[in-house]
Amino acid sequence: MDFRFELLYQSKKYRARVGRIHTHHGVIDTPNFVAVGTNAALKSLDSVTVDALGLQLMFCNTYHLMLQPGTEIIRQAGGLHRFMHRTMPIITDSGGFQVFSLMYGTVKDELKSSGQKKGDNLVLNIAEEGVTFRSYRNGDIMLLTPESSVFAQKDLGADIIIPLDELPPYHIDPQKLEASLHRTHRWEERSLNVHLHNKQGQAMYAVVHGGIDPSLRTLSCQFLSRLSFDGFAIGGSLGKTREQMFTMLDHTVRQLPEDKPNHLLGIGDLVSLKPCIAKGIDTFDSSHPTRCARHGLVFTAQGAQKIMAPQHKSYFFPIEKDCACFTCQHYTLAYLHHLFKAHELTGYALATIHNLHFMVRLMERYRQDIIHGNL
Amino acid sequence: MDFRFELLYQSKKYRARVGRIHTHHGVIDTPNFVAVGTNAALKSLDSVTVDALGLQLMFCNTYHLMLQPGTEIIRQAGGLHRFMHRTMPIITDSGGFQVFSLMYGTVKDELKSSGQKKGDNLVLNIAEEGVTFRSYRNGDIMLLTPESSVFAQKDLGADIIIPLDELPPYHIDPQKLEASLHRTHRWEERSLNVHLHNKQGQAMYAVVHGGIDPSLRTLSCQFLSRLSFDGFAIGGSLGKTREQMFTMLDHTVRQLPEDKPNHLLGIGDLVSLKPCIAKGIDTFDSSHPTRCARHGLVFTAQGAQKIMAPQHKSYFFPIEKDCACFTCQHYTLAYLHHLFKAHELTGYALATIHNLHFMVRLMERYRQDIIHGNL
């Protein structure tokens, strides 16, 4: 089955839409949430458990897998799906995001820093050829180019791959941002050419950049739309506040081809989801629900609940009474409270299962709401 | 179903025997291995997974559960089985072992220390009434008596409970050892009386003491056999070497009533199991297989294997080719190697599942071997 996007319903009121992405490893209903399994594992769970949750797309990070175990090992294993025993679709990134995060710190840190903050000098050089950096694991000097990133992603064999891009920080002067955008476009085109030479049944999404400059975002959409990408990811800084992000998304999504799927990189907190879906976003990846779970925060219809809150010590009911997840079907919040207090690893797994189930159900509901005009 | 021990086969050559312990929560085939789930959780796994492994008896620690979440909470939850959602039998200890471990350090540390090593002064006083200690969690001063230990274990509601005993160190002068033994006997009798007042369908095993003095071991067997305990645990120091332990076990087990089950406290490493079974031991508890798993050591017919050994990086086969465990059915050793290298929690769970499955199968085989005279 070749990669294909099927538009099932287009909302009249908003840009929100319901669709289906067809891949070799099955269907991804959109809009949908994409959980992050950085190291070819969703933290604290195994793939059989994750498959059973119905999580249709999973994000793995090429950067981490390049350093450990190395993409060559995963190629020898028969690709990422066989290596981690996942039967459903996978998306990998180019590795660029992590390399540049090393340089600027996390997105949050950089936003707070007024542009002064620099990482641990792990990025040694950015040139036309690619980016040279130092492995955080063993200090090896490595060169990531558009070509090497695609080769790595060919080794991994995910259903959807991403071309190498530069991640400019929020605090950057306009001329540098424009120069970065053009280099990113050249990198993406080089990535695409390598990919088209040996598609291996994979799809490649372009990454739209342009930072917080609407005209550069327009330019990026126009440039990338002319190339034969299978979909569009939205990357780079979208502003300092959620409102700025929504405005920029609105501006960007309306300039993307309607017959191709789009993906919002790295955003998936509960507050942002619905407005982003309304702007026409098809998929989101975020480690937010799984990270929250490991920090003792479980999602409910009444908002996130702290597992360790004192009143949960003797709350002998599931996290949510009507929840059908494995955790709520077998364990009480009082037991989870105890597991977290006792630092038992079991607690992380049970909380993660609940939050992921919550996300899967929430997305199902959003898709229904769009179709029924209730979003 | 009342607690009952059924002797199925008595080996002629050795004291080894095959039996069945019947409890309210099902049968325990003996000899059998008992995994340790200190905090009402087998580290990294949930109870549904553990039940599926066929692990017929699980050991939980009253001391830890008294401090977190408190046995009153577990009583309110409907007992330990409901709290942790375990359907199969559970055994709890008195809490004494942990209190005295705090005083002397671990058994290993104490053996190495020539008797000089003392814990962090968490044990404040040992008197006829009981032992006063300080909670390692919050510094609260607590008194553990034979009565309070049994009340705590009534709250927990395990199938098998244990009376309060004193754990004398290996390095103790003979007079003190004898005085300790007599106090332990008085404590055990008091524990039994409280238990008999309200059996709640639980069984109580006596704990045989006497350290490394054969005549005191004999005295302990005789004293405790006269009381209406349902079985016998063997506790205290059994010597510095494995050979000393086997000699002392041989001496002790032959003085215990043959129609009641016995349990060896805290021993369950692979080397000791078979000789202990040959001496007539019915059950063993040990955190060895689960601790090994979390430290990257998996059990195979060819001995324990290091997951992180370099040659496993590209070993694209299960840990054991003919193993029917969930881990070996779905994942390769190369993937586990990667998970451990990447410090992914998933790896601990998968390795633990394999080692516990290995123990369950090993015990099945030992039972068959006894019956067929091949042990």
> What pLDDT sits at residue A98?
85
Q: How far is A337 from chain B (nearest CA, A)?
A: 9
> What pLDDT sits at residue A169?
85
The one catalytic residue among A29, A165, A282, A285: A285
> What pLDDT sits at residue A110?
65
Reported as a pLDDT band with limits 50, 70 and 90, residue B4 is very high
> What pLDDT sits at residue A171?
86
- Is some CB atom of chain B closer than 8 A to the CB atom of A291? no
How many residues in chain B? Answer: 375
> What pLDDT sits at residue B268?
87
E strands present in chain A: 4-10, 17-23, 26-30, 32-36, 58-60, 90-92, 123-126, 131-134, 141-144, 160-161, 203-208, 231-234, 262-264, 283-286, 297-298, 305-306
Cα separation, B286 vs B266, in Å, equals 5
Q: Starting at the earlier edge strand, list the strands of the sheet with A26-30.
A: A4-10, A17-23, A26-30
Query: Are the beta carbons of B314 and A41 separated by less than 8 Å?
Result: no
Question: pLDDT higher for B165 or A120?
Answer: B165
Residue B148 main-chain phi, psi, to 5 deg? -65, -35
> What pLDDT sits at residue B256?
97
pLDDT at B24 over 70: yes
Whether ipTM > 0.85 holds is yes
Residue B272 one-letter amino acid:
S
Q: For the segment B29-58, what is each residue's pLDDT rounded down to a tens digit? A: 999 999 999 999 999 999 999 999 999 999
> What pLDDT sits at residue B375?
85
Question: pLDDT higher for B252 or B98?
Answer: B252
> What pLDDT sits at residue B7?
97
- Is some CB atom of chain A closer than 8 A to the CB atom of B52? no
Query: Are the beta carbons of B332 and A78 separated by less than 8 Å?
Result: no
Give chain B positions within 8 Å (CB) of A69: 313, 334, 337-338, 341
Integer CA distances (angstroms), A89 to A21, A343, B132, in order: 10, 33, 58
Of A42, A43, A341, the CB nearest to B68: A341
- Is some CB atom of chain B closer than 8 A to the CB atom of A339? yes
Give chain A positions within 8 Å (CB) of B69: 313, 334, 337-338, 341
> What pLDDT sits at residue B147?
98
pLDDT at B116 over 80: no
> What pLDDT sits at residue A106?
62
End-to-end CA distance of chain B: 32
Q: Cβ–Cβ contacts within 10 Å for residue B366, how many?
A: 22
- Assigned token pair, A255: 């300039």
pLDDT at B277 over 90: yes
Give chain B positions within 8 Å (CB) of A333: none
B159 is catalytic: no
Give chain B positions within 8 Å (CB) of A345: 43-44, 345, 348-349
Query: Are the beta carbons of A314 and B338 separated by less than 8 Å?
Result: no
Of A48, A76, A335, the CB nearest to B330: A48
> What pLDDT sits at residue B108?
64
Mean pLDDT for each consecutive 10-residue tract of chain A (375 residues)? 92 93 98 97 97 97 96 98 98 91 69 58 87 86 96 98 93 93 98 97 98 97 98 95 95 97 94 95 97 98 97 98 97 98 98 98 97 91
A109 is catalytic: no
> What pLDDT sits at residue B120?
57
Give chain A positions within 8 Å (CB) of B291: none
Size of interface A-B (CB pairs under 8 A): 118
Of B83, B345, B350, the CB nearest to A335: B83
Of A43, A337, A347, the CB nearest to B344: A43
Q: How far is B292 from chain A (nearest CA, A)?
A: 16
Reported as a pLDDT band with limits 50, 70 and 90, residue B107 is low
pTM: 0.95
A225, A253 contact by CB (below 8 A)? no
Query: Are the beta carbons of A330 and B39 separated by less than 8 Å?
Result: no
